[in-house]
Amino acid sequence: MDALAALMKGPLPDLYFCIGNPVVGNPTQYMVEEAFSALNHPGRYLTCEVQPTELEASMWGLRALQFAGGNVTAPFKQQVFPFLDDLSESARLCQAVNCITRQPDGTYVGDNTDGKGFLQSLKEALGDIAQRKVILFGSGGAASAIATELVLAEIREVVLVNRSEDKAQAVAKRLQGISKTIVRTEKWEGTYRLQEDGLVTVQATSVGLFNKQACINVEFEGGLKDCLACDVVFNPVDTAFLQKAREAGWKTLDGLGMLVNQGSIAIRNWTGLEPDRTLMRRSLEEAFAVLTK
């Protein structure tokens, strides 16, 4: 009885969540809990598959149980808006939430850390990015979040390339005039040729996810100076898109850094602590090694 009493003393561990559908195979829980352990933070992270018809009940349940925060993945990144008390600037501009934090007053704020995570990786790879031009493929959640952060960072130019140009134009319209960044769109027809010195290109579609051979229809010009190709796909880490870029002499940036950085930002939002990003990346590599066996 004394042991049981001792066990129940002290504060309960903070609870965190990941909700989506499907979420089987999502490695975030392993990465976050490894980071919590290294920080000696008494947090528990639960991955929960939520049926679309049960989202409202799930969100009020998470609030009632006073979860300290969590992540949101597809298809709920916009559908959670009605259940939040406020949104960050990034979430409002890209119209998607992937991170929720409970504030000291009990309110819940939605943020989008995807674009922030990418921007951090880009700055680590290039240093000063202010004068760069970015060609961004895709117009979904990841592309919108990345475009938002690039505009907020006042990069020189962002070109949104998508086969459905109306989707790209909708993103561009939201971001026009926010900063001095030039934001424009191009319709993607046939093979898109990348042929400028100093160019940064970002593959922000899901093409290549869990498929080592799949690649969007692009052609990298060889012999260019100071070019960087980035892919948001993190499994496989070395995608066909990145391999194709390297063959043309381009530098590359994989999607694992973005995943680690957005997780790091989320943990900092939730706990105020700075996690070990090297450990987080290593934990993801371990998780992917298990998933691909």
> Going by DSSP bridges, is the β-strand pair 86-87/108-111 parallel, antiparallel, or unpaired?
parallel
Q: Is the peptide bond before 75 cis (omega within 30 degrees of 0)?
A: yes
- Indicate the helix (H) or strand (E) that contains 22: none
**Nearest alpha-carbon partner for 210 in 177, 188, 233:** 233
Element (H, E) at 132: none
Q: Which of 204, 280, 236 is nearest to 37 (CA)?
A: 280
Q: Annotated catalytic residue: which of 77, 133, 187, 225?
A: 77
Q: What angle do CA 48, 259, 155 make, to 5 degrees?
A: 130
Residue identified by tokens 């009020």 is 60
Buried (b) or exposed (e) across 31-52, using 16+ Cβ within 10 A?
A: bbbbbbeebebebbbebeebee
Does 77 qualify as catalytic in the annotation?
yes
Positions annotated as catalytic residues are 77
